[in-house]
Amino acid sequence: MSEIYAALAGMLGGSDDDRPKSRMSLLFGTVEQAGGGKLQVVCNGMTLDQNGIGVPTDLSYQWTTDTGEEHLLRAGDRLICLVSDDNQDYYILKKAVWQ
């Protein structure tokens, strides 16, 4: 997962090294289904399951009972996703919360 954040840092101009930098985009996604070990996210017109999108350790779709905790992913949640330029790699960065 650290290479994801390195790519984000490079995209934002925070990397000084000489390694080639992959180009990535920040996009919004929406959770369609979560819980019971299943996850389905729509991002960039694609429907991705738990095997097709990286999920940070501070968010969970594994829950069986919704306890109301903020770190649980739920249907309808909006997400900030990092997507590779070739649209092959998708990573959830955080939940997007508007107040």
Per-residue pLDDT tens over the stretch 60-94: 999 999 999 999 999 999 999 999 888 899 999 99
pTM of the model: 0.77
Residue given tokens 């490079």 in the structure block: 10
Query: Quick one: average pLDDT of 10-39?
Result: 77
DSSP reduced 3-state for 22: coil
Q: How far apart are CA 63 and CA 38, in angstroms?
A: 9
Classify burial at 66, counting beta carbons within 10 Å of its beta carbon; exposed 0-12, middle 13-18, buried 19 or more: exposed
Residues in the chain: 99
Dump pLDDT digits (tens) for 31-45. 999 999 999 999 999
